[in-house]
Amino acid sequence: MRITVLTGAGISAESGLPTFRASDGLWEDHRIEDVATPEGFARDPELVHRFYNMRRAAASEAQPNAAHRALAQLQDHHDLTLVTQNVDALHERGGSRDVIHMHGALDGALCAECDHRWPAPAIMSPDDRCPNCAAPATRPDIVWFGEIPYHMDRIWTALEGADLFVAIGTSGNVYPAAGFAQHASRNGVECVELNLQTSMNARDFDRQIMGPASETVPEWVATLL
Ligand code: OAD
């Protein structure tokens, strides 16, 4: 079966990484416009690097959970396209291959001057120089608000060609990911949501499986093996 899966912060919550919009989430303590926009980075690169250095450290200490591992198992049995909005590497560390990081990744660095990419050091700073052009313009390779997510052509194609689209642990607040179910549905694809709480776009899915991802994902995957 051809399956396209979209994951969000909820799949990594039980690995100890905070989601964004929960009452104790990242957007309670940090203003989106300060740490997740190009304008915020231009205003205060030190603050932005500190935010992502902290998240990089937390993500490297976290361990993949049963939901990440179940999706790796699914890939062994089906034609799976795994798209994540998450910037951690828990899918890869749980055994998944060829993960599409549409919002970038904490382990990547990007030069804002020449677009060169390289592996991010544990601690990034505004003084770092690009190894390609030497400009002091290094930034985390993260897609910020107002920027275009990565690999969109490949993702739309995978949505249109799927037999099944499944969204896991995402609140449906951020486009284009929040529009994937509607797009897949219009192409005749069955859409299923696995989530802890009802998402903003719940009506775009044919059915919901509610509960913590570490339980619902392995149970759902088991039905397909
Ligand atoms: P949100 O914080 O908006 O939503 C997290 C979702 O995970 C919610 O629907 C929760 O109900 C669900 N959830 C929480 N714990 C869970 C658990 N144990 N099992 C299953 N589900 C659980 O995070 P995202 O939807 O991923 O983008 O946010 C989307 C984007 O907004 C992020 O990629 C980020 C953010 O701003 C950028 O920074 C560009």
Q: What is the pLDDT of residue 113?
A: 95
> Tokens representing 53?
């250095």
Asked whether residue 29 carries a pLDDT value surpassing 90, the answer given is no
Cβ of 17 less than 6 Å from ligand 1: no
Q: What is the pLDDT of residue 30?
A: 87
Q: What is the pLDDT of residue 72?
A: 98
Cβ of 6 less than 6 Å from ligand 1: no
The mean pLDDT value for 64-93 works out to 98
The CATH label, of 3.30.70.260, 3.20.20.70, 3.30.1600.10, 3.40.50.300, for the domain at 19-61+105-142 is: 3.30.1600.10
Q: How far is the centre of ligand 1, averaged over its atoms, from the C-alpha of 70 (Å)?
A: 19
Q: Where in the chain is CATH 3.30.1600.10? A: 19-61+105-142
Asked whether residue 37 carries a pLDDT value surpassing 90, the answer given is yes
Confidence band for 24, pLDDT divided at 50, 70 and 90: confident
Confidence band for 23, pLDDT divided at 50, 70 and 90: confident
> Tokens representing 38?
């190009």
* Three-point CA angle 51, 21, 220, nearest 5°: 110
Asked whether residue 47 carries a pLDDT value surpassing 90, the answer given is yes
Catalytically active residues are: 103
Residue with tokens 């990419």: 117
Fold of 1-17+64-103+149-225: Rossmann fold (3.40.50)
pLDDT digits (tens, 9 = 90+) for 93-117: 999 999 999 999 999 999 999 999 9
Asked whether residue 28 carries a pLDDT value surpassing 90, the answer given is no
Ligand 1 pocket test, pick from 7, 100, 196, 220 with the greatest ligand atom count within 8 Å of Cβ, gives 196
Q: What is the pLDDT of residue 191?
A: 98
Q: How far is the centre of ligand 1, averaged over its atoms, from the C-alpha of 86 (Å)?
A: 9
Q: Where in the chain is CATH 3.40.50.1220? A: 1-17+64-103+149-225
DSSP the chain: -EEEEEE-THHHHTTT---SSSTTSHHHHS-HHHHSSHHHHHH-HHHHHHHHHHHHHHHHH----HHHHHHHHHHHHSEEEEEE---S-HHHHTT--S-EETTEEEEEEEETTT--EEEPPSS--TT---TTT--S-EEEEEPPTTSPPTTHHHHHHHHHT-SEEEEES--S-STTGGGHHHHHHHTT-EEEEEESS--TTGGGSSEEEES-HHHHHHHHHHTT-
Q: What is the pLDDT of residue 63?
A: 98
pLDDT digits (tens, 9 = 90+) for 192-210: 999 999 999 999 999 999 9
Cβ of 201 less than 6 Å from ligand 1: no
Q: Which residue has the least CA distance to atom 25 on ligand 1?
A: 170
- When the pLDDT of each residue in the chain is averaged and rounded to a whole number, the result is 96
Q: What is the pLDDT of residue 184?
A: 98
What predicted TM-score, i.e. pTM, was given to this entire model?
0.97
Confidence band for 91, pLDDT divided at 50, 70 and 90: very high
pLDDT digits (tens, 9 = 90+) for 112-170: 999 999 999 999 999 999 999 999 999 999 999 999 999 999 999 999 999 999 999 99
